[in-house]
Structures are given as structure tokens and as C-alpha cells.
Structure 1
Amino acid sequence: MEKLDGRRSWLWPTAVAGGAVILLAGLAWFAAPPRLPQPDPNGLSLPDFFAGKSVSKGTVTTALVFTEAFTAEFDGKQTGDRFQLDERFAFADGKRLQRWDLVRTAPGLYGGTVATELKTGDLAPPMPVVGVQTKNGAVLDYDGYAPGGGGTLLHFRHEMTGRPDGTVANHVIVSKFGIPLATSDVTFAKSRAALAPY
């Protein structure tokens, strides 16, 4: 198992007893993975929301024990059905880039890749992403790497919900072998002023 430092330690809950992890892994083996919801072409359009400049703030919590705050800045560009988005995270120990390259594959459906900057400063190889527009938001699902983390491949599920004030709430579940390791709650907005209530 790879040794993780500082903030990245949330990727593997070191305090959990080995037997409990094995039991959970065994149970997860038989559990069906969460399905993607039915697409709604009239739902939240990620390219429309993230076009141009956007910002976010949020927290990541590991095993209900360790919580860390972070912010991010976004720069999005749409060309036809292709949408490219640079997400620059700011953590206490530095900044990390995550680069999204999404394509609308059908009404309400996305495909594409995400590439994440690791703790070495290198951008990991792009990993496949699938996405769905929903009535009130969107879901992105993929195997990838934690920003500023090591080479451990993890599963990420982003569940986004649009709010009446124009912001978007994003709940992220990070797992490995079906076992939840961490969660993140984020608010996306078009300006820092709009983040003030959150």
C-alpha cells in the first residue's frame, strides 16, 4: 500500500482495523454499483454553467474524522459539443490542477476525460468520465486520482444539484473497491460574492 502524506492521508483510513476493511470489501464485492440517473436534456448544463470564469469552496472529510477546507477557480471553454474546463484547487499545502475535457455524446449525456495533477507536480494520464444531466443537476462518475495525491486509483462520483440562487451544490463520494473513503461538499458559483452564504 502506498504511503500518503499530510492531507492525502484521507485516501486510506489508517485507523480502521484490518479485519473490518476485509469484511467491508467482501460485502462491497456483492453490492451493485450506483447507477447513473436517467438523462434530462433540459436539466443543468455543465458547459453553460462553467463557461468562462467560476469559483468554488468546499471541504473534504475522511472517515468522519479529518476535515479540510479548499477553494478552486475554473476557466471553461466550449467549442461545439466539446467543453474544456481547467479547475485549479487551492489547498493549505499548495495548488493543484484538474483538467476536464467533456463531449456531449447525446441529449443529456456526456463522455470525456479528466486529468489530475499529482503530488509530484505531474499531470496524471487522462481518465475516462461519464456524465448525465438530471432534472435539477448532473452526475459525473469516473475512476481517477485525488488532486495532489499519489498514484492510487480511486472512484469518484460527483452529484450536483442546482440551487434557486444560481449556485450549484456538489456532493462527492470517494471510494475504493466499493468502500467509501471520503466525502466532499462543494459549492460552485460565478462569483466569490455568491459564495458568501455558504
Structure 2
Amino acid sequence: MFHRIAYAVSVLLILGGCQSMQIDDFKGTTPTLVLEEYFAGKTKAWGIFEDRFGNLRRQFVVDITGEWDGTTLTLDERFDYADGEKDQRVWRIEKVGENSYVGRASDVIGTAEGQTEGSAFSWTYEMELNIQGHDVKVRFDDWMFLQPDGVMVNRAHVTKFGIELGTVTLFFQKRNAQKADTDEDREAA
């Protein structure tokens, strides 16, 4: 009997340790993230992609312009990769509930579905990526965490058939309209 109880407790402890992060874990955390408020206007992001072994594969900067019309947040993302590649993605994110969102973009398969709670936003989606000339369908488990002073940390695990391919990490910062974005802007002023 003792062995059965010890075994059951061991299994529960192991399974409890495997529990993944849930959006409800962030109830009441601050600062409170209101997605459509955060991304309205200009935002800049700096990001990296690491493969599943932790090797840095890509670095990029994203300039984002967001417009909120009362129901839909449109995000125009302009990517500038360190290797010279440029890309653009336009998200249309609809607020479908108090904390619920549905997003669409041309390379997203179906819809992205997400929720905010406290300082966090989580959403999952499938995307068609061009990797070395081949279109590959991957899944994103995407989490954003608002920090004080308008900085947001974004971490997305990228998988295919449940196998992790890598992790995307970004840092977002709201752009201050009063401040020049680059040294060139300051010199031109």
C-alpha cells in the first residue's frame, strides 16, 4: 500500500512540474496590458531567433505602426534583418471579448487566438514560413509581458509536429513622437 501511495505522489509531483504557463497565472499583475492601447501608434522591436540548440540564427529590427478603430487593431510590421532581408506583415487583430482577440495575417494559417490577463498576452497560431526556399508550416506559442516604462518582452516557441525548432525573443518599446528615432533624424532636425 505504501508503495502505491508513494508512486501516486511521485507521478503527481512530476506531472505538476510539467504544467505549462497559463494566462490566468497573470491575473492582477501590473502594469495592465491593453493590447490595442499599447500598439496604437509607433512601436519599435528588436529580436532574435535561436534554434533549439540555443544557436543564434537571425537578428532583426521591426518598425510597427498600429491603428485601432474601436474593434480592430491593424499592425503594419516592417522587418529589417541583419543579413539585409526585408519583410512586411500586416496583422488585423479583432477584439472579440473583454480580454479575447482573434488575429489574421497573410502568412498565418487560419486565425491566431489569444487572451490578455494582467500584464500578459498569450496567443497561438500556425504560420507558413519560407525556410531555405521551402514553405514550412510551423506553430507559434507566443507570450508577451508588459514591463514598467512601456517595454514589452515577447517570447515565442516555434514547433513543428510538437518538436521545438527554436525560440523568437523580442523587446518592444513605444516610440515617443517627441524624440528622434535615429541619429539621422537628430541630425536632420
Q: TM-score, normalised by structure 1?
A: 0.69
Alignment CA distance shift 1:90-1:33 (3 Å): farther
Counterpart for residue 97 of structure 1: 88
Quote how far apart the aligned CAs of 1:148 are: 7.2
> Which one has the largest radius of gyration?
2
Counterpart for residue 56 of structure 1: 45
Counterpart for residue 23 of structure 2: 37
1:47 pairs with one of 36, 50, 57: 36
More strand by share: 2
Distance 1:168 1:142 in 2: 20
Alignment CA distance shift 1:35-1:127 (3 Å): farther
- CA contact 2:130–2:136 (8 Å) conserved in 1: no
Matched, 1:153 2:132: no
Alignment CA distance shift 1:147-1:160 (3 Å): farther
Letter in 2 for 1:185: T
Aligned residues: 155
- CA contact 1:58–1:185 (8 Å) conserved in 2: yes
Matched, 1:132 2:115: yes
Structure 1 unaligned residues grouped into runs of 5+: 1-31, 117-124
Structure 2 unaligned residues grouped into runs of 5+: 1-17, 182-189
Alignment CA distance shift 1:33-1:102 (3 Å): farther
- CA contact 1:96–1:147 (8 Å) conserved in 2: no
Matched, 1:189 2:179: no
Distance 1:190 1:57 in 2: 12
Alignment CA distance shift 1:178-1:35 (3 Å): farther
Q: Percent identity?
A: 23
Quote how far apart the aligned CAs of 1:76 are: 0.8
Q: RMSD of the TM alignment (CA)?
A: 2.8
Matched, 1:115 2:130: no
Quote how far apart the aligned CAs of 1:95 are: 0.8
Quote how far apart the aligned CAs of 1:70 are: 0.7
59-68 vs 159-168, greater mean Cα deviation? 59-68
1:174 pairs with one of 148, 153, 158: 158
